[in-house]
Structure 1
Amino acid sequence: MPLLDARSDRQLLAAHRAGERGAFDELVRRHGDRLWSVALRVVRDPDDAADVVQEALVAAYRRASSYRGQAEVGTWLHQIVVHKCVDRIRHDRARPGLVGRRHHVLPAPDDPADRAMTRLAVVDALAELPVEQRLAVVLVDVEGYPVAEAARILEVPVGTVKSRCARGRLRLAGLLGHLREGG
């Protein structure tokens, strides 16, 4: 098999379902970084994000036969990650001893101090949003997904994503107003 597989995601998933070794690995290579990025921004802890993505990929691997082709494979994988993130957040809320245990996502070492502080403030502010708003804002504003794609990932209407983003942005503006120059 060539180093870079030219097959589409759907072809790779079909090959995986047919028993081809390595086909699912290629899907993970293509989508893993974005899946982890979404999970990290939602659950806020690198270890939890890694666990969420691993759980999601194991579920996708095992349930590949349940893929109906109504969404792109990448969207389907993101849906599974989003569901696992929500499960993790609900699980953590049910265990009060974990409150305050969350780590901040550390900035790259070459970032100036003020940018690092801004990033930490944004991470904290995102954590204050209700999970539905946080997911919409992370997918659309942080990860850059089009609203229609975010709607498919979240399995809600486009208007719902727009309203969740609008409410989330409004709340973020209030939480981050102190970052404005002169403010």
Structure 2
Amino acid sequence: MTGGDTSSPPGDRELLDRHVAGDPHAFGEIVRRHRDRLWAVALRVLGDREEAADAVQDALVSAYRAAHTFRGQSAVTTWLHRITVNACLDRARKAASRRTSSIAEPERLEQLLEPHESAAVPAERRDLHRQLIAALSELPPEQRAALVLVDMQGYPVAEAARILGVAVGTVKSRCARGRARLLPLVAHLRSDEPQGDTPPSAGGRNRTQGAPVPPARGKPDTRVVKGGGEHA
């Protein structure tokens, strides 16, 4: 083999090690690789674009500062998702304690539609999407997070358990309870759909990641950590 650089790009763990060692660019590459997927999870767990963006920012700042605590017991992406979900759950619990009415207002739910969906899909599908997200917002945060990871993002139950930091059985239980609570809320959607055999899941396996996260207003290491887990 002649000419050219045939070396493969560094893996996430190598980039994290470089960051800990002082490489000023390594963590930015990790963010570039994973931020959109973290954003998709945060958006569906929280149901609010601003809250989701803040949760992702908080999580990335936490990960930036806690990188030296990463011990490699899970993949870097699992570790990042765990920090992000923890940040989301913290915000969801605080919002639930303040909330006096449903967050599922049409204007806010419309923002959850990906730009290409909002512009291109039929109005009926957009309406179903809004109603589905409204129903999902009624679930407790822990059940919502489990359903988002398993049913909407397509994670295997075992991987979702690692992200959430709970047992596999707990994820299965949360999904089962969440689906049971979701069923009466979306039953009317099933009766309206032409395909009557479509399961009433929270979005289906292997769903697309959704809209990219808005550009950050600052670098990950320039904002104060407001929440999110920092444990590997």
Q: Please, what TM-score do these two structures have when normalized by structure 2?
A: 0.73
Give 1:181 shift.
Answer: 3.3
Q: Please say which structure displays the higher CA radius of gyration.
A: 2
What SS class does the counterpart of residue 91 from structure 1 fall into? helix
Percent of counterpart pairs with the same letter? 54
Match of 1:94, SS state, is helix
Q: Does 1:129 align with 2:139?
A: yes
The question of whether the paired residues in 2 share the 8 Å contact of 1:39 and 1:53 is answered with yes
Mean Cα deviation higher: 150-159 or 102-111:
102-111
Aligned to 2:54: 51
Structure 1: any 5+ residue segments left out of the alignment? Answer: none
CA drift of 1:178 comes to 0.1
Distance 1:120 1:181 in 2: 16
Distance 1:96 1:141 in 2: 26
Aligned residues of 1:38 and 1:139 also touching (Cα < 8 A): yes
Q: Which residue among 164, 170, 185 is the counterpart of 1:154?
A: 164
Q: Determine whether 1:22 maps to 2:25.
A: yes
CA contact (8 A) 1:92 1:98 kept: no
3-state SS of paired residue (2:119): coil
Cα displacement string for residues 28-67 of structure 1 (whole angstroms, at most 9, x for unaligned residues): 1111011000000011111110000001000100111111
CA apart distance, 1:173: 1.7
Distance 1:33 1:8 in 2: 18
Query: What is aligned with 2:187?
Result: 177
For the structure 1 residues 81 and 31, does the alpha-carbon distance in structure 2 shift closer, same or farther, using more than 3 Å as the test? same
Q: 1:64 corresponds to which letter in structure 2?
A: A
SS at match of 2:23: coil
Deviations for 1:54-81, whole angstroms, at most 9, x for unmatched residues? Answer: 0100010011111121111001001111
The structure with higher relative contact order (CA 8 Å, sep 6+) is: 2
RMSD: 2.1
Q: Does the aligned pair in 1 maintain the 2:93–2:141 contact within 8 Å?
A: no
How much does 1:122 deviate?
Answer: 1.1
CA distance in 2, matches of 1:63, 1:99: 35
When normalised by structure 1's length, the TM-score is 0.91
Q: What secondary structure is seen at the aligned counterpart in 1 of 2:71?
A: coil
1:82 to 59, 81, 85: 85
Q: Which of 2, 6, 12 is equivalent to 1:9?
A: 12
Structure 1 CA distance, aligned partners of 2:32 and 2:45?
21
Count of residues in Structure 1 that have an aligned counterpart in Structure 2: 181
Which residue, 89, 92, 95 being the options, matches 1:92? 95
Query: In structure 2, what is the Cα distance between the partners aligned to 1:29 and 1:98?
Result: 36
CA distance in 1, matches of 2:25, 2:177: 42
Q: Distance between the aligned counterparts of 1:182 and 1:15, measured in 2?
A: 54
Match of 1:10, as an amino acid? R
Measured in 2, the distance between the counterparts of 1:143 and 1:63 equals 26
Aligned twin of 2:227? none
**Do the aligned partners of 2:139 and 2:178 also contact (CA within 8 Å) in 1?**
yes
Q: Which runs of 4+ in 1 moved over 3 A?
A: 96-102
